[in-house]
Amino acid sequence: MTTTSVHPAWLPTEAWRPIGTRRVRVDVTGTVRDEVRAACALHGGELVTTGEADLILRIGGADGYAITRERHVTTVSSATHAGLLHGLFATVRMGESAFVPGPRIDSAPAFARRMLDHWDNLDVHPVMGQVERGYAGGSLFWRAGALRTADLPRVRDYARLLASIGINAVALNNVNVHATEARLLTDRLPDLVTLADVFRPYAVRVHLAVTFAAPIVLGGLDTADPLDPAVRAWWSVTLAAVYERIPDFGGVLVKADSEGRPGPFAYGRTHADGANMLAEALAPHGGVVHWRAFVYNHRQDWRDRTTDRARAAYDHFAPLDGAFAGNVVLQVKHGPMDFQPREPISPVLAAMPRTRLAMELQITQEYTGQQRHVCYLAPMWSAVISGAPAARELAGVANTGDDPFWTGHPLAQANLYAFGRLAWDPSLAPETILDEWITLTFDPDDAAREALHAIMDESWRTYERYTAPLGVGFMVRPGHHYGPDVDGYEYTPWGTYHFADRDGVGVDRTVATGTGYTGLYPYPWNEIFESLADCPDELLLFMHHVPYTHVLRSGETVIQHIYDTHFAGVSEVEAMRERWQRIKIAPDVHARVSTLLDEQLRSAIEWRDQINTYFFRKSGIGDIRGRKIY
C-alpha cells in the first residue's frame, strides 16, 4: 500500500506551525495563491520573503480570527494558536481576494467542537473489515494491529487537512471497541501519545473510544458497575495516566448498551450514572465524555408493532435531562433511526435543554452509496443543523482512509470539506461550499465548474429518488447495506420496517393510531407530523401508513410518485455520467470517477427495477405513463 497520495488541492502543500507573531512577505505580482502556499511553509519564526506585500500572522484579538486587508498588508489575528491557523487557511480559501483591500473579516466557529469519529479497528475485523463502514481503504493510523509508524508523515498531512477545514477533535478508534483497541487506554497508550503529537501542531485534540467494560477487561476487576468505588478509582487512575502523557487529551467516546456493547444497564444503573462516572474522572483534567444516544433494542420481535426503534433514544435519554455532569456531551445521531438518506431530525435534540448535546452526522456513506455513488450530503446536513439549534457540537463519522484519493470516490472529498465548513459556519449555502471546494480542488474552467455543479449539487436528492421512497428508509441489503433488498430487514429483529402490504405502505407513528412517535416533538412539529395533510411528502412514510392511492401534497399518488422518482433518479445518473464523460479534469480523477459512475448507474437501475416491481406486484396498480415495470 502506497503512502503517497493525491493531495486535495485545497491544502497548502507544506507544513507550517503558527506560534507567536509571524510576518510573511508575499509577492502580489506573482501568483498570490502560490505565495500563500509558500507562507504555509513557515516554520518556527522564519520569515519567507519574496516581494513587496506582507501577510502578517499575529496573535491577539478574539477567539476565531480576524482578517484585515489593507493596501499591501493583509493581517490575520487571533487570540489562539488555533485561530491563527484557521485564519491562515481562510486566506488560502480566499485566494487573490485575501490581498485586495476590503472590509475586515471576523470569523468564529458556530460549533465549539468540530469532531471526526474514525470507526477504525487496529486490525482487519472478520466481518467489518478494518474501517467499520469504511469505503476508502485501510486505516490511516493502524495496520495489522499496530500503529503505522512509517506512515506518520501521511497522518501529519491528514492533520493539516483537518485543520484546513476547521476540525479540532478526532477520535482515533471504532466506537465498537474490540479487545486490541481497548488497550490503547493502557499498555498501548504510547501509540496514542505518538498520534497526539502529530495532531497537536494542527490544533486537533485526540479522543479515544473506550469500552465500558474496561475495568474488567483491562483492570482485572470483577465488575464495571459505575457506582462501585473500585471501578471509579480505576477510571480515575487510568485516565490520570493518559493525561500525564497527553496533557491536551480530549476525552473519551462511549457506545454503551447498544448493539451488544457493555454498559450500565448490566448493573441496574442509568446512562447518567455511567457517563457521570467517567466525567468525574476526566473533570480534573478538563476532558469530556462523548456519550452516544444510539441506544435501542436490536433484538426486537418484529411481530410486536408497539416497539418503535425511532422512539428508543428519546425514551432512554429525555427523562435524564439535567442528570448529566457538565462535561458530558450526549452525542445524538441527526435522525432517530440510523443515518438514512432521509429522516426527520431526532426529537432528542429538542428535548434536553439542560444537557450538552452534539449532533452526529455520517460522512462515510454507509447508507448513501458507500462512496461508489456521487452523493453530496451538505444539503441534508445544512437542513438538519439549522433544525436543531440546541446542538452545541458537531461530530461526523469520518469517510477517509489510506486510499490515494483519501475518500475512495474523489468527489466524496467534498463531503468531508462540507462537514468542516458547515461546522464552522452553518449559514453557508451548500452550493457555495461546493463551489469553494471545486475551485480549490480543480481550479476548473467555467465548463468544468458548471458540470461539477450539475453532477453534485442535487446528487443527494437523486440518490434519494432511486432508493427507498418517501422517508421510509432501509430497504438495503442486510449486513453490508449496499444495494436494494426491499424486504431484507422486514422480518428481522432490527426494528427497521416499512409494513408494505397489498393495500399500502409506511409506519404509523402517529399518536392517534400508531406508536406515538410524532408526539415526541415540540409544537408545531408534533402537529405537522401527526397530520396526514400537513406532513411533508418526503417524510410521509416515516410517519404514516397510507394506501398506495393516497394523494401527496405534490398532487401525485404514492404509487405514481414511487414510479416517477425511480425513473427520474436513473435518468439523472445517466445525465451525470454523460456530463462526466465530457468534462476536462485530471486523468487519474477522471478515470476513477468514470468507473464509479458506471457502477452508480448499474446500481441505480437495480434499485429502480426492484422497488418499482415490488410495489407494482404488491399494489397491482400500473404506471400511468406506461413505462416498463417488470
**Positions in the binding site for ligand BDP (CB under 6 A):** 132-133, 175-176, 255, 294, 338-339, 366
Q: Nearest distance from residue 394's CB to ligand BDP, in Å?
A: 16
**Which residue is listed with cell 434519494?**
464
In angstroms, rounded to a whole number, what is the distance separating the alpha carbons of residues 501 and 99?
Answer: 63
Q: Of 292 and 465, which has the nearer Cβ to ligand BDP?
A: 292
| Residue of minimal Cβ distance to ligand BDP | 338
Q: Which run of H or E residues covers position 78? A: strand 73-78
Give the CA dihedral 397, 250, 257, 234, nearest 10 degrees. Answer: 150
In angstroms, rounded to a whole number, what is the distance separating the alpha carbons of residues 59 and 160?
Answer: 20
Task: Give me 138's grid cell.
Answer: 485501510
Q: Nearest distance from residue 351's CB to ligand BDP, in Å?
A: 20
Instruction: Tell me the one-letter amino acid at 86.
Output: H
At residue 22, the 3 state secondary structure works out as strand
**DSSP helix, strand, coil percent of the chain (3-state; round to 5):** 40, 15, 45
The closest of 15, 9, 329 to 169, measured between CA atoms, is 329
CB 307 within 8 A of CB 320: no
Q: Of 177 and 520, which has the nearer Cβ to ligand BDP?
A: 177
Backbone angles phi, psi at 58, to 5 degrees: -135, 140
- Burial annotation 384-393 (CB, 10 A radius, 16+ → b, else e): bbebbeebeb
**CA 82 and chain centroid, separation:** 22
Q: Of 338 and 464, which has the nearer Cβ to ligand BDP?
A: 338
Q: Nearest distance from residue 128's CB to ligand BDP, in Å?
A: 7
Active-site positions read 259, 338, 366
CB 9 within 8 A of CB 34: no
Q: Of 320 and 332, which has the nearer Cβ to ligand BDP?
A: 332
The closest of 368, 422, 359 to 394, measured between CA atoms, is 359
Q: Nearest distance from residue 481's CB to ligand BDP, in Å?
A: 7
Q: Of 175 and 189, which has the nearer Cβ to ligand BDP?
A: 175
Cis peptide upstream of residue 341 (ω within 30 degrees of 0): no
Q: Nearest distance from residue 482's CB to ligand BDP, in Å?
A: 12
Q: Of 330 and 546, which has the nearer Cβ to ligand BDP?
A: 330
In angstroms, rounded to a whole number, what is the distance separating the alpha carbons of residues 357 and 372?
Answer: 32
CB 345 within 8 A of CB 334: yes
Query: Which residues, other chains included, contact 481 with Cβ-Cβ below 8 Å and sequence gap of 6+?
Result: 133, 366, 367, 370
Q: Nearest distance from residue 362's CB to ligand BDP, in Å?
A: 7
> Which sign does the torsion angle of CA 162, 168, 172, 173 carry?
negative
Q: Nearest distance from residue 255's CB to ligand BDP, in Å?
A: 5
Q: Of 37 and 298, which has the nearer Cβ to ligand BDP?
A: 298
**Which residue is listed with cell 502556499?**
37
Q: Of 175 and 224, which has the nearer Cβ to ligand BDP?
A: 175
Q: Of 474 and 517, which has the nearer Cβ to ligand BDP?
A: 474
Q: Nearest distance from residue 338's CB to ligand BDP, in Å?
A: 4
CB 208 within 8 A of CB 215: no
Backbone angles phi, psi at 599, to 5 degrees: -65, -40
Greatest alpha-carbon pair distance for the chain in Å reads 76
In angstroms, rounded to a whole number, what is the distance separating the alpha carbons of residues 370 and 15?
Answer: 31
Query: Which residues, other chains included, contact 588 with Cβ-Cβ below 8 Å and sequence gap of 6+?
Result: 6
CB 245 within 8 A of CB 193: yes
Q: Nearest distance from residue 176's CB to ligand BDP, in Å?
A: 5
Q: Nearest distance from residue 366's CB to ligand BDP, in Å?
A: 6
Task: Give me 264's grid cell.
Answer: 450500565
CB 36 within 8 A of CB 11: no
Q: Of 255 and 544, which has the nearer Cβ to ligand BDP?
A: 255
In angstroms, rounded to a whole number, what is the distance separating the alpha carbons of residues 613 and 563?
Answer: 9
